[in-house]
Amino acid sequence: MIAEVGHLALCFALALSLILALFPLYGSYKGAAGPVLLARPAAVLLFLLTAVSFAALCYAFWINDFTVAYVANNSNSLLPWYYRLTAVWGSHEGSMLLWVLMLSGWTAAVALLSNSLPLILQGRILGVLGFVNVGFYAFVLLMSNPFERTLPFFPVDGRDLNPLLQDFGMIIHPPLLYMGYVGFAVSFAFAIAALLGGRFDANWARWARPWTLAAWLFLTLGIMLGSWWAYNELGWGGWWFWDPVENASLMPWLVGTALLHSLAVTEKRGTFKSWTVLLAIAAFSLSLLGAFLVRSGVLVSVHAFATDPSRGLFLLAFLLVVVGGSLLLYGLRMHAVRSQARYQLFSREVLLWGNNVFLLTATLVVFLGTLYPLFHKELGLGSISIGEPFFNSIFQYLAIPFALLLGLAPWVRWKQQQWQPLLKPLSLWLVGALVLAVGVLSMYQTPAANLALLGLLLGAWVTMATIGEIQQKAAQLGGIPGLFKLQASHWGMVLGHLGFAMLVVGIAMTKTFSVEKDVRMKIGDSVELNGYTFMLSEVYALNGPNYGGQAAELEVFQHGEKVTHLHAEKRFYPVTRAVMTEAAVHARLSRDLYVALGEELSGPSWALRVYVKPYVRWIWLGAILMALGGLVSLSDKRYRRKAAVKAETGAKAHA
């Protein structure tokens, strides 16, 4: 019964999203207020209906209702309650339901928080969002209904949730990631609404910015959690695999980052308008492309979902409609939009343009590397794979000019800047960065540390330049107390840039100094790695609620003193007949100790994977810092200012 209620609620939601797609757009086209006013309650109701539907599925999982096919396939009565609830988004159908829940949530949020926008613009934005909603509700109902029944022959017990997903990281990773993906639909709706109306002013950018920031913030956290989860669950200590599905999330992130910077120019200077619109379209299109890649089965990947060609076809068609439609609209409308502002070659505008160029190049690299094997195969040239070195080497080269620009840009004024006043302070900070990088590196006596030196140098440069810029601001505003006058969005930028510096340092240090060893050990054996001695003290049988397996206990010593105790598991899930590695990690800011238990060999001895990974935490902490920067920016007062009168005062302030 409850499942049918959920299904019915979804059907109503589809109908409602049709209303949301048609009436407000019609209203704003005719200039009639009535149909536009319909948009807000419709959006809120849409969210409530979807929430009912989602709750119904949660309930089916909670009570182990195996008459629902999706529950039977992804849950088991032995599964702990918290994994039963997170199993709701453990597979394709449920995760699509989560997706539409988020989409309707964003839509409702836009409806509730856009009071200050002109009515016509509200109608257009919500109408476009309604259109996007129609696509996804139709997809859920037609292609992947989570409420399908197994009646009359329902199974006694479920097939259990994929063991890979029975982890804390998995509880929050997909919701955050989807919040990000779907959030770009709002930026997209703003862009299309502006195209429809032909109006792009500083206000438009100011309204669009917080939404983009919020989406970007979620996407950043989602990707970071995915990386952290893979590190813990896949059992070989990698944090990024250039896996097609990871790439699918990285592309919208890169374009979203470019969009944030381009929006800043549009808001402050009224230029880059058409560029910003294109980026907003691209960010959402790449989110859709990601959905297509993950859910169509065209790619073989760690996370690829079901291989159902009709689903892929639907998503591809939707993607084509979105991209084709918006580009057509762009072509028809964009000629009317002119950017008035002039700027010189050395100005912040140009540097931010450089930021966009590098981010888009990076996107292109990921795009090519992800889709090239696909085209190669479809063209009948045989199946190939693109090696990790391709991505790594190109990203390495892209990071150098990118980080140099990043440190420089906040110092440079809008419109135009002279070289001379910047030369002295910046070269001082550069020397400072050099000293810091070499100083840190001298603690590691290794000759083959070019990458580490480069990464440290870039990280230190970004940090130093960012601190220097704050110091300069303090001097202008009359000392430290003056810093309180800085806008929140400025602090957001500072945090974001420092986060990036941290990320770069983390990546370079981990890549260079990680030591790993696959070893064969008996009880009592020990192995030494980078000054740490790992001793295998015990291996015993495991007895979990829905799994068995083995657990290994290790003692770790350094200089004869005990550092920690590690507990690594190798679980066997009988229902899915899957084996899972639960790595043991001892984390510190400067290094991780990581042990994964492999198979049992004759002897008895065990295969063990032992790692020492310096600074690996910095990668995720950097990402968290970036997201924090987004949050701080979001708290900026000017995004909450009622009407748009104060555009002028904002334009004089800093980015």
Partner 1 sequence: MNPRRKQRLLAVSGILVLLSGGVGAMLYALNENVDLFYTPSQLIDGLGEDKKKPVVGQRLRIGGMVVKGSVRRDEHSLKVSFDLVDTGPVVTVHYDGILPDLFREGQGIVAQGTLLDATTIQATEVLAKHDENYMPPEVAEAVKGIKHVAPKQTYPAGTP
Within 142-171, the residues that bind partner 1 by CB under 8 A are 159, 162, 164
Range 451-510, binding partner 1 (CB under 8 A): none
Residue 304 as a binder of partner 1 (CB under 8 A): the answer is yes
Stretch of 110-118, 190-198, 442-450, 479-487 lying at the interface with partner 1 (CB under 8 A): 442-450
Residue 587 as a binder of partner 1 (CB under 8 A): the answer is no
Q: Which listed residue (26, 29, 168, 241) binds partner 1 by CB under 8 A?
A: 241
In this structure, are residues 215 and 279 in contact, taking their beta carbons and an 8 Å threshold?
no
DSSP for residue 152: T
Residue closer to partner 1 (CB basis): 105 or 354: 354
Q: Which listed residue (77, 307, 310, 590) binds partner 1 by CB under 8 A?
A: 307
User: Residues 51-80 vs partner 1: string with x where CB under 8 A?
Assistant: ----------------------xx------
CA distance 225 to 239: 10
In this structure, are residues 568 and 583 in contact, taking their beta carbons and an 8 Å threshold?
yes
What's the closest the beta carbon of residue 348 comes to partner 1, in angstroms?
17
Radius of gyration of the chain (CA): 26
Short-list 305, 315, 258, CA closest to 132: 315
Residue 37 as a binder of partner 1 (CB under 8 A): the answer is no
Strand partners, 551: 540, 569
In this structure, are residues 640 and 207 in contact, taking their beta carbons and an 8 Å threshold?
no
H/E segment holding residue 239:
none
What's the closest the beta carbon of residue 364 comes to partner 1, in angstroms?
7
CB count in 10 Å sphere of residue 522: 12
H/E segment holding residue 580:
strand 578-582
Q: Which long-range contacts (C-beta less than 8 Å, at least 24 apart) are formed by 388-396? A: 388/241, 388/242, 391/242, 391/365, 391/366, 392/242, 394/362, 394/365, 395/362, 395/365, 396/451, 396/454
Structure tokens at 303: 């996370």
Q: Which listed residue (151, 335, 340, 389) binds partner 1 by CB under 8 A?
A: 389
Residue closer to partner 1 (CB basis): 407 or 598: 598
Residue 303 as a binder of partner 1 (CB under 8 A): the answer is yes
Structure tokens at 169: 């990281």
Residue 368 as a binder of partner 1 (CB under 8 A): the answer is yes
Range 165-224, binding partner 1 (CB under 8 A): none
Q: Which listed residue (346, 390, 557, 639) binds partner 1 by CB under 8 A?
A: 390
Residue 305 as a binder of partner 1 (CB under 8 A): the answer is yes
What's the closest the beta carbon of residue 237 comes to partner 1, in angstroms?
7
Instruction: Give whole-number Cα distances, 180 to 135, 161, 217, in Å.
Output: 18, 25, 7
What's the closest the beta carbon of residue 346 comes to partner 1, in angstroms?
13
Range 242-281, binding partner 1 (CB under 8 A): none
Short-list 275, 279, 305, 278, CA closest to 290: 305
Range 338-367, binding partner 1 (CB under 8 A): 345, 361, 364-365
Q: Which listed residue (607, 621, 644, 651) binds partner 1 by CB under 8 A?
A: 607
Residue closer to partner 1 (CB basis): 269 or 571: 571
Residue 442 as a binder of partner 1 (CB under 8 A): the answer is no
Residue 448 as a binder of partner 1 (CB under 8 A): the answer is yes
Residue 7 as a binder of partner 1 (CB under 8 A): the answer is no
What's phi and psi for 284, nearest 5 deg? -70, -40
Residue 449 as a binder of partner 1 (CB under 8 A): the answer is yes
What's the closest the beta carbon of residue 503 comes to partner 1, in angstroms?
20
Range 517-546, binding partner 1 (CB under 8 A): 517-520, 528-530
What's the closest the beta carbon of residue 71 comes to partner 1, in angstroms?
12
CA distance 353 to 195: 22
Stretch of 232-240, 281-289, 478-486, 637-645 lying at the interface with partner 1 (CB under 8 A): 232-240
CA distance 501 to 625: 10
Q: Which listed residue (92, 311, 497, 617) binds partner 1 by CB under 8 A?
A: 92
What's the closest the beta carbon of residue 155 comes to partner 1, in angstroms?
10
Q: Which listed residue (17, 187, 487, 581) binds partner 1 by CB under 8 A?
A: 581
Q: Which listed residue (148, 167, 201, 388) binds partner 1 by CB under 8 A?
A: 388
Stretch of 56-64, 128-136, 295-303, 431-439 lying at the interface with partner 1 (CB under 8 A): 295-303
Structure tokens at 566: 């590690």
Residue closer to partner 1 (CB basis): 367 or 618: 367
Strand partners, 601: 605
Instruction: Identify whether 152 is preceded by a cis peptide bond (ω within 30 of 0).
Output: yes
Q: Where are the alpha helices (DSSP H) in 114-167?
A: 119-143
Residue 514 as a binder of partner 1 (CB under 8 A): the answer is yes
Q: Which listed residue (577, 637, 642, 652) binds partner 1 by CB under 8 A?
A: 577
How are beta strands 605-614 and 515-521 bridged, if at all?
A: antiparallel
H/E segment holding residue 422:
helix 420-441
What's phi and psi for 343, nearest 5 deg? -150, 155
What's the closest the beta carbon of residue 598 comes to partner 1, in angstroms?
4
Q: What is the dihedral of CA 288, 294, 299, 302, to 10 degrees?
A: 140
How are beta strands 515-521 and 591-601 bridged, if at all?
A: unpaired
> What DSSP letter does each residue of 510-575 carry, written as one string?
HHHH-EEEEEEE-TT-EEEETTEEEEEEEEEEEE-SS-EEEEEEEEEEETTEEEEEEEEEEEEETT
DSSP for residue 585: E
Total residues contacting partner 1 (rule CB under 8 A)?
Answer: 73
Residue closer to partner 1 (CB basis): 14 or 616: 616
- Three-point CA angle 138, 141, 143, nearest 5°: 90
What's the closest the beta carbon of residue 89 comes to partner 1, in angstroms?
12
CB count in 10 Å sphere of residue 119: 16
In this structure, are residues 121 and 77 in contact, taking their beta carbons and an 8 Å threshold?
no
Residue 290 as a binder of partner 1 (CB under 8 A): the answer is no
Residue closer to partner 1 (CB basis): 172 or 578: 578
Residue 336 as a binder of partner 1 (CB under 8 A): the answer is no
DSSP for residue 229: H
What's the closest the beta carbon of residue 386 comes to partner 1, in angstroms?
6
Residue closer to partner 1 (CB basis): 187 or 514: 514
Residue 423 as a binder of partner 1 (CB under 8 A): the answer is no
